Amino acid sequence: MRVLSALRSAKLKVTPFMRFASLTVVPALMLATAAGGQSLETAAPFAYVKDLSSGLVLFERGADEQMPPASMAKMMTVLVAFDLIDKGKLTLDQKFTVRPETWRQWHSQGSTMFLSVNEEVSVEDLLHGIVTASGNDASVVLAEGIAGTEKAFSDIMDAKGKEIGLTGSEFETANGWPHENEHVTPHDLAVIAERTILDHPELYKKFYDVADFTWGRTLGGGDPITQPNRNPILNTVKGADGLKTGHTEAAGYGFTGSAARDGRRIVAVISGLTSESQRKSEATRIMEWAFGAFEGKALDPAKAIAELPVHMGSAETVSAVPAEGAMLTVPRAIVSDVKARMKYRTPVAAPLAKGDEVGELIVSVAGLPDQRVKLVAAEAVEEAGFFGRVKAGFSRLFD
């Protein structure tokens, strides 16, 4: 196999793995030596930081430990609604009525959208009330409107969680109000955020990146009530555009946030903090650390990583190139000690369409988990004709 200049210029040493040889994956570390010693120290007992652009987990602490979600459970309520909207099963202008029983339970219980009894409210306004104002009332009204009861809606939440790969979460409420059987993990919250951002980019932008929301009126003067977005990094961290805070006595102060900058997107989950101010400072510092201590390296899809032999094809080889949008995350202070290896089946079987997966590039950076980049065929290779197949079969007798 011939390794081309794309990797030579990046100072990566590539070693082929024949026929999908087994690989050892470096576990996620605390990054004590990454980025020239710029380790992350945080007061959060639960933390999970991921670069969505490359898939690299930059930091984790208690990532798979179960904890109360508080209002961060509302991200799953919103994700379920987003799914239904994009599938055409729910519309933004559809209206649900605030049941008297729901109003009595939630009009003054924690954060509220300030809904009124028997008020008809659109899905669009309810979603703003959930995301921006963190309305417990809005969450339950939306859940009841979609599924009939909050319990039936929580079953939908659990089904969605199973679909997207949540492993340690169970939902009982639409708003995260304390319940003995409801729990999540930092990792699962990050998955919910990731699926919201990647699967529903337009709805994510429409509802999460909003400065404030006005609904309801004051009791005395009847003045409109405007509530600011509770996201602590929205106007503090460059590129911040989501997602959701949470707080209960049992959970402490938590936050799942995201920001995009310089072609990268970071998702960070923290929980168990002791105050709003500590939550804001930790969320801000972690985000700035993720962008400052690491950088993204885009891989050019026009530059071949290797030429792979093709079996029974109209061409003897096919160029393996990084998939469109492939990116690596590396510490900014890294100078060398970056290694790459390929995992692929040889020979590649024809026919091949342009863009078909032909293997993967495994990149190792000291102190970080391995990163995997999908490699695809740069061009189509048709199946060889009759005489080509005879020639290939004859040549294999002497392999």
Beta-carbon-side half-sphere exposure of residue 286 (alpha carbons within 13 Å): 33
The superfamily CATH assigns to domain 68-234 is DD-peptidase/beta-lactamase superfamily (3.40.710.10)
In the chain, domain spans: 5-29+299-396, 68-234
What single-letter amino acid sits at 238?
Answer: K
User: Residue 111: which of 258, 267, 276 has the closest Cα?
Assistant: 276
Q: Report the length, in residues, of the chain.
A: 399
Q: What is the CATH number of domain 5-29+299-396?
A: 2.60.410.10
What single-letter amino acid sits at 279?
Answer: R
Read off the DSSP letter of residue 75. Answer: H
Torsion over CA: 149, 154, 157, 159 (sign): negative
> Residue 170: what are its φ and ψ, rounded to 5°?
-145, 135
Tracing tokens 């900058």 back to the chain, one arrives at 261
How far apart, in whole angstroms, are the C-alpha atoms of residue 189 and residue 270? 10
Beta-carbon-side half-sphere exposure of residue 315 (alpha carbons within 13 Å): 15
C-alpha Rg value of the chain to the nearest Å: 25
From first to last of its 399 residues, the chain has per-residue pLDDT tens of 433 333 433 444 444 444 443 333 323 222 333 333 347 899 999 999 999 999 999 999 999 999 999 999 999 999 999 999 999 999 999 999 999 999 999 999 999 999 999 999 999 999 999 999 999 999 999 999 999 999 999 999 999 999 999 999 999 999 999 999 999 999 999 999 999 999 999 999 999 999 999 999 988 888 999 999 999 999 999 999 999 999 999 999 999 999 999 999 999 999 999 999 999 999 999 999 999 999 999 999 999 988 999 988 899 899 999 999 999 998 887 656 678 888 988 788 899 999 999 999 999 887 788 999 999 999 999 987 544 444 545 455 445
pTM for the full predicted model: 0.85
Hey, which residues does 256 pair with through a beta bridge?
A: 244, 269
